[in-house]
Chain A
Amino acid sequence: MSQPLVFFPTTVAEAVEVLDRYGGEAKVVAGGTAVSLMLQHRLIQPAALVSLQRVDGLREVGRTEEGTAVRLGALVTHAEAARHPFLRSAAPLVADAFAVVGNPQVRAAATVGGVLTEADYASDPPAALRAIDAVVIAQGPAGARIIPVYDLLLGFYETALADNEIVSSVVVPLLPEGAGSAYLKYSSRSSEDRPCVGVAAVVRQAPDGSCAEVRVVLGAIAAVPVRVPELEAAAVGRPLDPAGLGDAYAEAVDPLEDVRGSAWYRREMVRVWVARAVTAARHRCTGGPQPPPAG
């Protein structure tokens, strides 16, 4: 096997220039946890690898200038995102999702940009990032553009990025005042496995205890994270009913089937885990009505 050339650009512009020159024959490498497997199993045979490891400025976590969002550099690792105090308080569901990926060794290497652009249907962070309406900043020869996570993920391992674009950061909006959020992962085989079903939930309650807003995004049950706007709209103004939402989502979805569970099984797990995620999100609501006593 002929070995690919490896490039170590030090700026985003330089990385984009190499990608552009190779016109689809080059592969970006961030943490390399997915690319290494693809190379070893000969799933890809790129002419060039473009490692981002020496590119400056892609490892920062911080509030955006307007103060309304958290910016995660593309090379921030899952472990760094999961333990970052600001992200944990501003968008707990996103920190939750990075904390449950794989095992500690994977989380120490895998990056925020990598897990999104890999676009594997059975990943955890994309559902949480979709629920909070995160966007990615993509940089190409013509400059930067903003792509909502919703528009980025097109299908199985398919994204809206052009061959000559890289993700430089992911921008995560702060949760609305008083809102609670959670990401719960259910894995059916072993502890480090990808999810059978992942559920991201955001809940905001009105002063009278009714539901002011609910967002639910389901991961690993379809090619891309699933959101059902009609069910979210129907829940508003009524008492929050986690079990009822679980039933409603179980009826509404059309889950895929794979080694981690049949379509029937996944539907039943959606029923259980939507209820649990909504309950967990409600417990984290601040300033609103107190959760009912446990039991």
Chain B
Amino acid sequence: MIILDIKNLTLEIESNGVLVKALDKVSLTIQENEIRALVGESGSGKSLIVRAISGALPPQWIVTADRLTWRGQNLLSMTRAQRQAIMRRDIAVIFQDPLASLDPSATLKDQLVESIPQEFIPKGWPWQRRKARLRIAQQIMRKVGIKDVHAAINKYPHELSLDICQKFMIAMALVSQPTLLIADDPTRGMETNTKQQILTLLAQLNKTRNLSILFVSHDLIAISAMAHSMTVLYCGQSVESGKMKAMRRRPLHPYTKALMDSAPSFSPDLIPKSPLVAMDGTIPTLQHLPIGCRLGPRCPRAAKECVQVPEERSINEHKYRCHYPMHVESV
């Protein structure tokens, strides 16, 4: 069953005095129990999607969508209170910058205890309830791999190292036992051991607790280790989505292909220090978006038709937006 359904999400923002479509008809769905990766270049709009789902956008930005629903309920038309209730109990978000999203003036304990839903605390005297809360808080902190919980729990965010803050953000998100976890680059800059620990924890929660995950990252190795399916974003447009395996083996969109080629670890035969396959150029600024397919100027397969925006097409579960897709014959 689809729990989160996004169809043609468009986000218009004012940047340097002009109104630009930072997201242009983005579609994305998340099934129950699914781990979906959202990948794309820096500046492609991944964090904007996360913010649009959570409703954390400045009021002057214009959001439109054919569908933006949570279990069939329209997130855009419901009241603020209803939306907040969903964000508190069903969907948890780990934002990209841990320090900016933690309260600098409260200890980890205070912040975490605050996020524990009331119904998790057994009835009892206030001091019993306080103790129960503390126990839950410590438990979850241990679970995400924070080593010295007793020392860390009474500290303020700025007193702790970045990777403890990152782990703590994950603890904060998991403490309400959400149905869907949206994690924006949660393992960025983590060393391999810690990263593997976090990925294992998330994969395990997915299996044992049916946690669905939207995993935003450009760490392709981490993504292919855990995601079932993937949506690729380029320049504010969703260009391809489908099952992880199929997309790795036979990407249809030239950009997905370039993405896959860029991880040296995926090509074991690569000669050390040889140049990596890389697409020329760089993602354009929002002020100078090319017309038609936004990949056009960088795309090795581009041809005349590409000045028209490609419509979304699909082959079975596999969706793509490209006039001249690859591997189509073999799908």
Please say whether chains A and B are actual partners in one complex.
no
Residues of A within 8 A of B (CB): none
